[in-house]
Structure 1
Amino acid sequence: MTAVKGFPAFPPQRAGARFATSWWGRAWIKAMEDTSLDHTLLQKGRAYAKTGQVGPITVSPGRLAAITEGEYDTVVRVSHLTDAEWNRFLDQVAAQSGHLAALLDGEVPHDLVEAAEDAAVPLLPTVGDLEPECSCPDWGHPCKHAAALCYQASWLLDGDPFVLLLLRGRGRDDLLAALQQRDVPAPADTGTPARAAYALGVPPLPAPPPPAAEYVPLELQEAPGVNTGALKVLAASAAGRARELLAGGTPAVLTERQDRVRLAAEHGLDIGDAPAVLAWQYGGAGGLDTLEHAWNPGKQELARAEAAWRREDLPPVEAARNRWTLGALQLRLGRDGRWYPYTLRDDGQWWPSGGPERDPAALADQV
């Protein structure tokens, strides 16, 4: 019997909803977008996908189908893996028990896909692998309806990687049954047999590690000209950085200004510069630098961010150097490659308003 799986229609999504949070879901979208020659149709497809204009989706071997806006029959075809390719893929899954465990846990391991590629098994689609068909009069490849179907399919792939395997020809049950019937290679003649290992009994546990040294606040007596409160803060800070060194970390070398802001952020000191303290609490030294300095990012870095912003159909921004402004929201790109959100206060000043993100579109819900 041919495996078929149905999924209910996705309801309308919020404006900032994202497609494909998984790396394999993003690979699916990339294969579709790289094939397209019309960015406008892709934009319309994203809007259709988010506004609930795609009906229930049916997934079967080599075929993704739905009734879309206007009662159009929309299909996206994917080539099947041959029996020989499936056998090679099953070899890779069986080679490591963690591969199957990851699939059952809703993950597609990078090393499994790479091993499949080494075995000439095209698991993830690339340019030209997705063949859209639609009964609408649009000549786009894909049309907006097929694009919408592909974008919504990325949500299905995020939730269940077996959807991808079904599109390639075999469903979850078929795959598990085939793995159960395979001959597992005999283990190498090394190590201790399980019976002998159990006969050894339970060995004693190793000695517990030495307890971590706890910081004991300094007991200081008041003295003329000595700020004992500041000394206690400095001692606590030094103890924390020492623990970080002992744990194998490498504390950053800070300027006097950075260290003053750090101390205020970590110990609740009032240095009369609340925006700087907030910036440090949200992003450390990188957050403070982004607050205090504008700079000119590279064109390639900005192009990637602009493409991510457009993919989510977000409103246009006013761009100046590393700062994007949209009403009372401003996003600033830090030299650490992260985008920091700022909010315009009543006094006309921009204040840090949240933690940073690699993708500026992820901060769009603050619009």
Structure 2
Amino acid sequence: MTDARGFAAFPPQSAGARFATSWWGRAWIQAIEDTSLDHGLLRKGRAYAKQGLLGPITVSPGRLAAVAESEYDVVVRVEQLTDAAWERFLDQVAAKAGHIAALLDRDMPHDLVEAAEDAAVPLLPAVGDLEPECSCPDWGHPCKHAAALCYQASWLLDADPFVLLLLRGRGERDLIEALQEREEPVREPSGVPVAQAYAVGVPPLPEPPPYDVGYTPPALEPAPGVDVAALAVLAASAAGRARELLRRGRLPDLGEYQDRVRLAAEHDLDLGLDAAVQAWRYGGADGLDVLDGSWTPPRRELARAQALLEAGWEGERPPEVEAWRNRWTIGAVQLRYGRDGRWYPFTRREEEWWPAGPPERDPAALLG
């Protein structure tokens, strides 16, 4: 069994300190926040985490543990992967040399996680995957101590994604040894008699070429009535959409207007859609949706966002919010909540609101 790893207690942090800067760390926080039944306890947990009220943290397969306030035993359990699931995961890691290099560089590539999910190997936790326990008398799920442990664990995950893999059942040493065992020795090619080769028959066709190869534009000759530049843009767009279709298995349905904006954004076309192009570059179709329309989010989602906003000003008075449907105006900034669960920042430009940056799930992160 993989040995447990111990981490020193975190010292008190500033009130504006952020949890999880990596995308996999944010996914961890999203899982515990989606599981929570009490946002008030989450807010207290964030404060406990920043105040350094937890002792050293121990990470072992399926288990995250610490002592809170020097008297309460806090544990968060994570389901471990089966041996068969680990074999499928190792297949995905070994299939691309860059995956191994990224992990050793303390990075968790998006495409590795997606490939693992396609192989039915859930690396990142989802709603209900984190099971908190605490010896305190609070019946919250999670209580403030378990919430604090989860928030501090996001800092550990930021620094080293192998912490997540250890929680799923295997540590760095085990994984590296397993990957080394899969390496086959290089053998010198040997000749095959012609008669033997012909006796094999017609071999099967090779696998299709990889979809992530570079695009080579076609050589287009000018012709009467043909806009060669526009045709080149359409060809490049079709190639890009084909790659995306091969990679994801599907493409979002786009209307004529959305597709015009996409073409202008991806190929630097001047179609008089500057704000829409900026929105697309920051958030794709979802970014364009929050630019052009408004909607009324569920109250639970707005309450969670309000708690996150207040947490960003712990110990201080949070800024005044002028709320209308999915739009929160805070001074010179307007945050718009998208149907994808992310907040998009906007700033004033010539009496209009313009997209001002990429979206975040935590609205407080856009006001720092």
- With the shorter chain as reference, the TM-score category is 0.5 to 0.7
Contact 1:296 1:321 (C-alpha < 8 Å) held by counterparts: no
Q: Which of 87-96 and 302-311 deviates more?
A: 302-311
Of residues 361, 364, 367 in structure 1, which corresponds to 2:367? Answer: 364
What is aligned with 2:150?
150
The runs of 5 or more residues in structure 1 that have no matched partner are 190-244, 259-279, 287-293, 343-349
Residue 6 to residue 29, structure 1, CA distance change in 2 (3 Å):
same
Could you tell me which amino acid in structure 2 is paired with residue 112 of structure 1? Answer: L
Residue 78 to residue 185, structure 1, CA distance change in 2 (3 Å):
farther
Render the CA deviation track for 1:187-208: whole Å, top value 9, x for unaligned: 9x9xxxxxxxxxxxxxxxxxxx
What is aligned with 1:317?
321
Task: Count matched residues.
Answer: 270
Contact 2:2 2:171 (C-alpha < 8 Å) held by counterparts: no
Contact 1:102 1:109 (C-alpha < 8 Å) held by counterparts: yes
User: How far has the Cα of 1:317 moved from its partner?
Assistant: 2.5
Render the CA deviation track for 1:311-356: whole Å, top value 9, x for unaligned: 2514263435787566xx44224799742468xxxxxxx9x9x964
What is aligned with 2:136?
136
Contact 2:328 2:336 (C-alpha < 8 Å) held by counterparts: no
**How far apart in 1 are the matches of 2:35 and 2:324?**
32
What is aligned with 1:108?
108
The DSSP-based 3-state class of the residue aligned with 2:73 is strand
Contact 1:78 1:129 (C-alpha < 8 Å) held by counterparts: yes
Render the CA deviation track for 1:105-148: whole Å, top value 9, x for unaligned: 22222222222223222222222221211110111121111011
The runs of 5 or more residues in structure 2 that have no matched partner are 190-263, 282-290, 313-317
Of residues 253, 267, 271 in structure 1, which corresponds to 2:272? Answer: 253
Residue 35 to residue 303, structure 1, CA distance change in 2 (3 Å):
closer
**How far apart in 2 are the matches of 1:43 and 1:24?**
21
Q: Following superposition of structure 1 onto structure 2, how do residues 1-367 of structure 1 map, counting pairs within 5 Å?
A: 2-69=2-69, 71-184=71-184, 249-253=268-272, 297-300=294-297, 307-312=304-309, 313-314=311-312, 315=318, 317-319=321-323, 324=328, 329-333=331-335, 338-340=344-346, 356=357, 358-359=359-360, 360-365=363-368
Could you tell me which amino acid in structure 2 is paired with residue 362 of structure 1? Answer: A
Is the radius of gyration larger for structure 1 or structure 2? Answer: 1
Under a length normalisation based on structure 1, what TM-score does the superposition of the two structures give? 0.61
Contact 1:295 1:321 (C-alpha < 8 Å) held by counterparts: no
Contact 2:327 2:337 (C-alpha < 8 Å) held by counterparts: no
Residue 339 to residue 306, structure 1, CA distance change in 2 (3 Å):
farther
User: How far has the Cα of 1:67 moved from its partner?
Assistant: 1.3
Contact 1:323 1:330 (C-alpha < 8 Å) held by counterparts: no
What RMSD, in angstroms, separates the aligned Cα atoms of the two structures?
4.1
User: How far has the Cα of 1:57 moved from its partner?
Assistant: 1.2
Residue 355 to residue 141, structure 1, CA distance change in 2 (3 Å):
same
Could you tell me which amino acid in structure 1 is paired with residue 161 of structure 2? Answer: P
Residue 40 to residue 253, structure 1, CA distance change in 2 (3 Å):
same
Could you tell me which amino acid in structure 2 is paired with residue 300 of structure 1? Answer: P
Residue 361 to residue 306, structure 1, CA distance change in 2 (3 Å):
farther
**How far apart in 2 are the matches of 1:115 and 1:322?**
34
What is aligned with 1:262?
none
Contact 1:340 1:357 (C-alpha < 8 Å) held by counterparts: no
The DSSP-based 3-state class of the residue aligned with 2:115 is helix
The DSSP-based 3-state class of the residue aligned with 2:57 is strand
Contact 1:295 1:322 (C-alpha < 8 Å) held by counterparts: no
Contact 1:324 1:330 (C-alpha < 8 Å) held by counterparts: no
Contact 1:357 1:363 (C-alpha < 8 Å) held by counterparts: no
**How far apart in 2 are the matches of 1:37 and 1:250?**
48
Could you tell me which amino acid in structure 2 is paired with residue 297 of structure 1? Answer: S
**How far apart in 2 are the matches of 1:126 and 1:77?**
13
The DSSP-based 3-state class of the residue aligned with 1:98 is helix
Render the CA deviation track for 1:160-217: whole Å, top value 9, x for unaligned: 1100011111111111111111144989x9xxxxxxxxxxxxxxxxxxxxxxxxxxxx
Could you tell me which amino acid in structure 2 is paired with residue 299 of structure 1? Answer: T
Residue 305 to residue 178, structure 1, CA distance change in 2 (3 Å):
same
Contact 1:322 1:332 (C-alpha < 8 Å) held by counterparts: no
User: How far has the Cα of 1:250 moved from its partner?
Assistant: 1.5
Q: Percent identity?
A: 63
Render the CA deviation track for 1:203-232: whole Å, top value 9, x for unaligned: xxxxxxxxxxxxxxxxxxxxxxxxxxxxxx
User: How far has the Cα of 1:59 moved from its partner?
Assistant: 0.9
Could you tell me which amino acid in structure 1 is paired with residue 323 of structure 2? Answer: A
